[in-house]
Amino acid sequence: MTTSTPAVAGWFTTGDDPRLVASRCTSCGTLAFPPPPPEAASFCRNPACDGDAHEPAELSRVGRVWSYTDAQYQPPPPYVPTTDPFQPFALAAVELPEGLVVLGQVADGYGVADLAVGAEVELVVETLYTDDDGERTIWRWKPVVELGEEADQ
């Protein structure tokens, strides 16, 4: 049986309603993503705040596309290729209601033709690559409404 673990710990939750996990400054509430590593100091990015304590804060699951693109060529290491030959994948920068724009790959099966600036997407968790520990997962952005179907709704 294969195990499935996040490719990076503490950045997102899994399950039926996955979320990105930011850090929230306990002094002023400013959010930061990705959250700092547990062992690292975390200085609040707000220049008006000298806070250095923070807590995890789950972000909204649904956001709007700020922009998008794809990788038509295999990125260099440390990217881990999963297919041979390489299969292009799409990328999106997504504006969340909290006021952060977060990059991510686009969900399997979707490309740039399925995206538009301003379109709604939601967070899903999918397999990024498989290593000795099993499947390693990552957050991805999935179009909420198929383009072309919007007019019917």
Residues contributing to the site for another protein (CB under 8 A): 7-8, 22, 29-34, 37, 40, 45-47, 66-73, 75-80, 89, 91, 93, 98-105, 112, 116-118, 128, 138
3-state secondary structure 42-111: CCCCCCCCCCCCEEEEECCCEEEEEEEEEECCCCCCCCCCCCCCCCCEEEEEEECCCCCEEEEEECCCCC
Q: Does 123 bind Zn ion (CB under 5 A)?
A: no
What mask of x and - would describe binding to Zn ion in positions 22 to 51, judged by CB under 5 A?
---x-xx-x-------------x-x--x-x
Q: Sort residue 21 into left (φ over 0), alpha (ψ -120 to 50) or beta.
A: beta
Amino acid at 109: G
Residue 27 contact among another protein, Zn ion, none, beta carbon within 5 to 8 Å by kind: Zn ion
Residue 51 touches which member of another protein, Zn ion, none, C-beta under 5-8 Å by kind: Zn ion
For residue 92, give both structure tokens. 């999106």
Residue 31 interacting partner from another protein, Zn ion, none (CB closer than 5 to 8 Å by kind): another protein
124 contact, one of Zn ion, another protein, none, CB 5-8 Å limit per kind: none
* 120 binds, options Zn ion, another protein, none, Cβ within 5 to 8 A by partner type: none
Site for Zn ion in 88-117 (CB under 5 A): none
Q: Is 147 in the site for Zn ion (CB under 5 A)?
A: no
Q: Which is nearer to Zn ion, 28 or 80 (CB)?
A: 28
Q: Pairing state of beta strands 101-106 and 62-71?
A: unpaired
CB 39 within 8 A of CB 51: no
